[in-house]
């Protein structure tokens, strides 16, 4: 085994997903309220997420797919994509209170690095890199020198597409058979096994700290 891939939400970071989504959608729609009525903004944003989850286009990143849909559908200026970036830098950090760090996350990741593995944050890339780096800060694991952090800016498909996992293996130059995927969701993280990756799912009483015993 040469690489360990970690999911983020509910693997390295506890998050109240319902509260997070409610407050996130409220905050971002308010941020764009001068450009689009909030209810319409939320609907188009969620439609854009659906498009991202379905896409499998090697020529366009997830964020490019979102931008193509969103700005075409709303008629807004594509240059407003910069405002999305600013939102994730300025306002997104205020949502930290809906999350809670998992204390053993630091120990598990440090162990993987200490043993010489390539380490990947393999979170579903429906957010841009700014938002994912912020959530790593919430988890208190942003300081590690990861070999790859998947985001909408560098990936071309999402979980559970097999191409998501294949692209990770290609980027880090490690055969899938030499990778371990650690996650909590059998539907999103489990498919890594279909391309030959080993999987460690936090189900049936398994805890994150248990990963240390197989590294």
What local confidence, expressed as pLDDT, does residue 1 receive? 97
At residue 166, the pLDDT reads: 99
Q: Would you state the pLDDT for residue 130?
A: 98
Size (the chain), residues = 215
In tens, the pLDDT along 38-54 reads 999 999 999 999 999 99
Q: What is the pLDDT of residue 51?
A: 98
Tell me the average pLDDT across 122-148.
Answer: 98
pLDDT in the model for residue 158: 98
Residue 98 has a pLDDT of: 97
Confidence of residue 195 (pLDDT cuts 50, 70, 90): very high
Please state the rounded mean pLDDT for residues 4-21: 97
pLDDT of residue 114: 98
Q: Domains of the chain: which residue ranges?
A: 3-15+100-214, 17-96
Cα distance between residue 3 and residue 181, in whole Å: 9
Query: What percentage of residues in the chain have a pLDDT greater than 90?
Result: 100
Please, which pLDDT band fits residue 214 given cuts at 50, 70 and 90?
very high
Please give the CATH superfamily to which domain 3-15+100-214 belongs.
HAD superfamily/HAD-like (3.40.50.1000)
pLDDT digits (tens, 9 = 90+) for 71-129: 999 999 999 999 999 999 999 999 999 999 999 999 999 999 999 999 999 999 999 99
Average pLDDT, the chain: 98
- The predicted pLDDT at position 53 comes to 98
Q: Give the pLDDT confidence score for residue 179 in this predicted structure.
A: 99
Contact 119, 74 (CB under 8 A): no
């Amino acid at each position: 085994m040469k690489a360990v891939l970690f999911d983020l939400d509910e693997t390295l970071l506890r998050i109240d997903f319902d509260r997070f989504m409610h407050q996130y959608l409220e905050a971002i729609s308010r941020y764009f309220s001068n450009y689009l009525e909030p209810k319409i903004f939320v609907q188009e944003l969620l439609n854009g997420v659906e498009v991202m989850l379905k896409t499998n286009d090697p020529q366009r990143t997830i964020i490019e797919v979102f931008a193509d849909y969103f700005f075409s559908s709303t008629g807004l200026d594509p240059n407003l994509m910069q405002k999305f970036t600013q939102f994730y830098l300025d306002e997104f950090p205020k949502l930290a209170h809906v999350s809670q760090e998992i204390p053993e996350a630091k120990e598990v990741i440090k162990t993987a690095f200490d043993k010489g593995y390539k380490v990947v944050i393999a979170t579903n890339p429906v957010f841009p890199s700014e938002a994912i780096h912020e959530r790593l800060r919430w988890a208190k694991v942003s300081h590690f020198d990861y070999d790859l952090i998947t985001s909408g800016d560098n990936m071309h498909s999402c979980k559970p597409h097999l191409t998501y996992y294949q692209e990770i293996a290609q980027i880090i130059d490690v055969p899938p058979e030499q990778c371990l995927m650690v996650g909590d969701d059998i539907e999103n993280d489990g498919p890594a096994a279909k391309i030959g990756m080993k999987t460690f799912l936090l189900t049936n009483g398994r805890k994150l700290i248990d990963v240390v015993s197989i590294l």
